[in-house]
Amino acid sequence: MLAVTARAHTNIALIKYWGKADSELMLPANSSVSMTLDQFYTETTVTFDADATADSFVLDGVRQDFLATTKITRFLDIVRALANTASFAHVESVNHVPTAAGLASSASAFAALALAASTAAGLNLTQQELTRLARRGSGSASRSINGGFVIWHRGHDDASSFAEPVQVNPNLNLRMLAVVLDHRQKRVSSRQGMAETVATSPYFPAWADAAEAASHAMVRALTGSDFAEIGAMVERSALMMHATTLAANPPFTYFQPETLATLQLVQDMRAKGLPVYATMDAGPNVKVLTTADAVLQVQDQLAAALNAPITVCAPGPDAQIIKEE
Ligand code: DP6
């Protein structure tokens, strides 16, 4: 029995993925662009066991219930079909996220699972095939197979919806600060939130068109040296995504009072000349994009104004196998 351990880092979208065109194949309505973060990752060990009578899943040392294990089983079924095996597997995952960071993410989880499970099953997938496999677990996971900066092409079928690295001007020296305002579990999951948005928000078609164009504009901007252009696109993509939920029926929002206060703080810091822009995902926490030159000053000012843990992240590495035994 081969036990394979893989590590994958989480990523934060600069241009958001919000809405599916096909929820079975997990095809997104628009392409998206992200930065993989060096500070947050998941390590997952997969062992296929011909004698096992079911899949088992242990997360952070705790054996998971039927519901959590079913999500893993559905994903492993795709791997089993590709590898032509019927064996069940033991899956053990550990999230390496600073205490109460509230950033535990399906992106690093399914990217690590895709790499560990496919390797343990004897498949030798290319990076691009891995991004397509990870996508089936969680859309954003397709972007965590590669480090640095990544575009996930929306595509129109399983083969064309993959992620790949994008060139970035090294002089940009981008940094992302994760500000944890609330570490409780979100009330509306991304999956449910985006499904409600697609089904009921009249803003959704406009969002999907704008986000597709913004993804390609972001890829171009990352090769340049205009940080303000990139930052403005990042902040606008997040605010446009959150606008779609306010127009859903019934309307909902992930923002809390502290989210808006932090957004205001970032805008005030910018008005005083600091290179800072904010982004938010399906929760109340704020991530702040800045440059390596400014990051200490930004960290100090955020820490002075907010009573919240802050983690400074640089671009992280590719998903990788760290142990095979
Ligand atoms: C707001 O990838 O978690 O973080 O594909 O249903 O698993 P599923 O959703 P998920 O959604 C991420 C949404 C987001 C924006 C982003 O990461 O692009």
84-104 tens-digit pLDDT: 999 999 999 999 986 555 576
Same domain, 7 and 153: yes
Domain hosting 190: range is: 170-313
Same domain, 142 and 251: no
Q: What is the CATH number of the domain that holds 103?
A: 3.30.230.10
Out of 117, 148, 168, pick the residue that ends a domain. Answer: 168
Among 133, 125, 137, 146, CA closest to 10: 146
pTM value? 0.97
- Confidence band, pLDDT 50/70/90 cuts, at residue 105: confident
Distance CA 142, CA 85 (A): 24
pLDDT (tens digit per residue) in 139-171:
999 999 999 999 999 999 999 999 999 999 999
Asked if the structure places residue 322 within a domain, the reply is: no
Q: Which two tokens stand for residue 214?
A: 């913004």
Asked if the structure places residue 324 within a domain, the reply is: no
Same domain, 76 and 99: yes
Centre of ligand 1 to C-alpha 189, Å, is 9
* Mean of per-residue pLDDT scores for the chain: 96
- Ligand 1 contact, 135 CB (< 6 A): no
CB 26 within 8 A of CB 66: no
Q: Which of 106, 140, 143, 150 to mutate to test the pocket of ligand 1 (most atoms within 8 A of CB)?
A: 140
Same domain, 24 and 96: yes
Asked if the structure places residue 323 within a domain, the reply is: no
Centre of ligand 1 to C-alpha 141, Å, is 8
Same domain, 10 and 149: yes
Out of 139, 168, 197, pick the residue that ends a domain. Answer: 168
**74-113 burial: b if 16+ Cβ within 10 Å, else e:** ebbeebbebbebebbbbbbbbbbbeeebbbbbbbbbbbbb
Look at the chain and report how many structural domains it folds into: 2
Same domain, 178 and 308: yes
Same domain, 189 and 303: yes
Same domain, 159 and 176: no
In three-state secondary structure terms, 170 is: helix
Same domain, 174 and 272: yes
- Ligand 1 contact, 190 CB (< 6 A): yes
pLDDT (tens digit per residue) in 284-323:
999 999 999 999 999 999 999 999 999 999 999 999 999 9
Q: Which two tokens stand for residue 306?
A: 């907010």
- Using only C-alpha atoms, the chain has a radius of gyration, in whole angstroms, of 19
Same domain, 145 and 198: no
Q: Which two tokens stand for residue 29?
A: 């309505």
What's the complex ipTM? Answer: 0.99
Asked if the structure places residue 320 within a domain, the reply is: no
Same domain, 103 and 203: no
- Ligand 1 contact, 201 CB (< 6 A): no
Out of 136, 168, 200, pick the residue that ends a domain. Answer: 168
Asked if the structure places residue 158 within a domain, the reply is: yes
Q: How far is CA 42 from CA 67, 98, 156, 288, in A?
A: 20, 12, 29, 22
Same domain, 55 and 110: yes
Q: Return the residue whose CA atom lies nearest to atom 5 of ligand 1.
A: 139
Centre of ligand 1 to C-alpha 272, Å, is 33
- Ligand 1 contact, 237 CB (< 6 A): no
Centre of ligand 1 to C-alpha 51, Å, is 35
Distance CA 32, CA 30 (A): 6
Distance CA 192, CA 215 (A): 23
Distance CA 17, CA 21 (A): 11
Q: Return the residue whose CA atom lies nearest to atom 8 of ligand 1.
A: 138
Asked if the structure places residue 276 within a domain, the reply is: yes
